[in-house]
Amino acid sequence: MHPGVAPLLGALLLAGTALLAGCGAETPAPAATSPAPAASQPAEARDQLAALAAAAQDRQLTAVYTLSAAGEPDRSISVVRAADRSWRVDIPGGALGGSADVSVVQNRAGMFQCALPSAERPESGCVRVAGPDQPLDPGIDPRMRHPFTDWPAVLTDRQAPLAVSAAALPGARGRCFAVESTSASVSPQLDPGIYCYAQDGTLTAARLPAGTLTLAGTPTAAPATVALPGPLVDREPLPIAAPPPDGSDGE
């Protein structure tokens, strides 16, 4: 063989092999990659509400709310949640069919209903109506206190028969949730409605059967404890219902 032929044949064989490999192989598959982590799903509305209601249970503040109800003048509901976990809720028109202003106060000694003096009813005084965190007879219990006292605990209870969904309430700050009872009980644990909370647990608004509560202004600091707004007196608590025609109100 001519000396120059061998190198030429070797080069041709290598080129042919490369050509055959290129023609016969399939297009290489892209390199496998690890799947991207799934985007974290937002927490369920009930979990979000429970977290805010838990913050509300620890929230210490002094605040005023406007209560608006169809066909009635607006009223101001005052709320104090003190550092020692005592609390006070003042409810204008909260007794005697709307003719008496009352305050419901709880401290270590118990729960008290206090008559607040007004132009129509200048007398005042407090009556112990229950132990701490005990239920009140519905006949003397103004329900407008509950959004600030015991209903947040219901909203944190995953076993409570509630349906919760995100909602909107015009003019309300924070996050709002529609809450409905899924139980047929005649005495639901809380009133259905829309509840709105700021991130720190402040109730900013609530649409309830009795009307719409809206936070007025900015809450201020809470006191160390809550004092009774009047002396202890020996009388029956004022009923929610209007007095009978003879004018008797149980005092």
As given in the structure block, the two tokens for residue 245 are 């025609």
Q: Are 221 and 155 in contact (CB under 8 A)?
A: no
Mean pLDDT value of segment 94-106: 95
pLDDT at 14: 41
pLDDT at 31: 45
As given in the structure block, the two tokens for residue 48 are 């979000």
Is the per-residue pLDDT at 7 higher than 60?
A: no
Residue 118's closest CA among 76, 71, 69? Answer: 76
- Predicted confidence (pLDDT) per residue in 153-203, tens digit: 999 998 899 999 999 999 999 999 999 999 876 677 899 999 999 999 999
pLDDT at 120: 81
Is the per-residue pLDDT at 12 higher than 90?
A: no
**Confidence bin at 57 (pLDDT 50/70/90):** very high
pLDDT at 121: 85
Residue 219's closest CA among 89, 63, 78, 82? Answer: 63
Instruction: Write out the H or E segment, with its range, that includes residue 79.
Output: strand 75-81
What domains can you pick out in the chain, each with its CATH number?
A: 45-220 (2.50.20)
Is the per-residue pLDDT at 122 higher than 70?
A: yes
Is the per-residue pLDDT at 49 higher than 50?
A: yes
* 162-167 sheet: strands from edge to edge: 125-130, 110-116, 100-107, 87-95, 75-81, 61-68, 211-220, 203-208, 193-197, 175-181, 162-167
The percentage of the chain sitting over the pLDDT mark of 70, rounded to a whole number, equals 80
